[in-house]
Amino acid sequence: MTAPRATKRKRPAQKVRENLPAPQTDEGLLFHYTAYEAAPWTPYSGRTLADMIARREIDFVHTGRGNFLTGTQIVALVEARTVKPFKKPAQSAA
């Protein structure tokens, strides 16, 4: 006699609103995005952003109903994770 197999319960798909303003626009800077809505503008997946928010690794807005990222926070996140090209320091003529 074998033990019954455990079944995995699938999570429901996250709802993503349509026609969202881009985070860089005037309207988007103050707009509240879920982690899954913010993902296309970041180098992370929605799940990774949600995990980073849960671990308090990035700035976010807690409204009592959920956790959100504003456009300003998305832009700051992308800029903080952007690697700048290396410039050699100027040679001093001595």
Give the largest Cα separation in the chain, rounded: 86
Question: Partners of 67 in the beta sheet?
Answer: 62
pLDDT at 86: 87
Of residues 90 and 35, more confidently modeled = 35
Judged against a pLDDT cut of 70, whether residue 94 lies above it is answered with no
Of residues 14 and 58, more confidently modeled = 58
Residue 55 one-letter amino acid: R
pTM: 0.75
Q: Nearest-CA neighbor of 37 among 47, 29, 26?
A: 47
pLDDT at 44: 94
- Residues for the chain: how many in total? 94
Of residues 11 and 82, more confidently modeled = 82
Q: What is the mean pLDDT of residues 9-34?
A: 86
Share of the chain above pLDDT 70, in %: 95
Of residues 5 and 55, more confidently modeled = 55
Burial class of 25 by CB neighbour count within 10 A (0 to 12, 13 to 18, 19+): exposed
